[in-house]
Amino acid sequence: MEITVHLEKESTTQKINFKGKNVEQLLQQLKLNPEAIIVTRNEEILTEEELLKNKDNLTILSVVSGG
């Protein structure tokens, strides 16, 4: 499935060809530590177990501040 991911820290948006099912697997594919980020979809907070759908639009927020 195709997932659009906006990364807050990098200020980039990319389309991902995702073969998994849930947020946890997406983070593994993106090599992101769940401790350091928060995933949202339409401003709704997602847990790692949340199932993803084709054409989902996600924002990955950074837990760490920029200072």
Partner 1 sequence: MKCFQCKEKAIIELQHGPVCKTHFIHYFEEKVFKTIQKYQLLEPNDKICVACSGGKDSQTVLYLVKKYLQIHHQDTKNLKVLAIDEGIKNYRSTTLKDLKKFCKEQQVELKILEAKKELKYTLDRALASLKKKGKQEKPCHICGVWRRYLINKGARELKCTKLITGHNLDDEAQAVVMNIFKANTSLSAHLGPISGIKDHELFVRRVKPLYFCPEKEVRLYSILKKFPVQFVECPYAEEGYRAAIRDMLNDFENKYKGTKQGIISSFLQILPLIKEKEIQTNTKPLRQCKICQEPANQEICHACRILGDLHGK
Q: How far apart are the first and last CA of the chain?
A: 36
Strands (E) in 1-67, as ranges, are 2-7, 12-17, 37-41, 44-46, 57-62
Rg of the chain taking only CA atoms, in angstroms: 11
Q: Which of 35, 42, 53, 54 binds partner 1 (CB under 8 A)?
A: 35
Nearest approach in angstroms of CB 45 to partner 1 is: 4
Q: Is 48 in the site for partner 1 (CB under 8 A)?
A: yes
Q: Count of residues binding partner 1 (CB under 8 A)? A: 20
Q: Which of 2, 21, 36, 55 binds partner 1 (CB under 8 A)?
A: 36
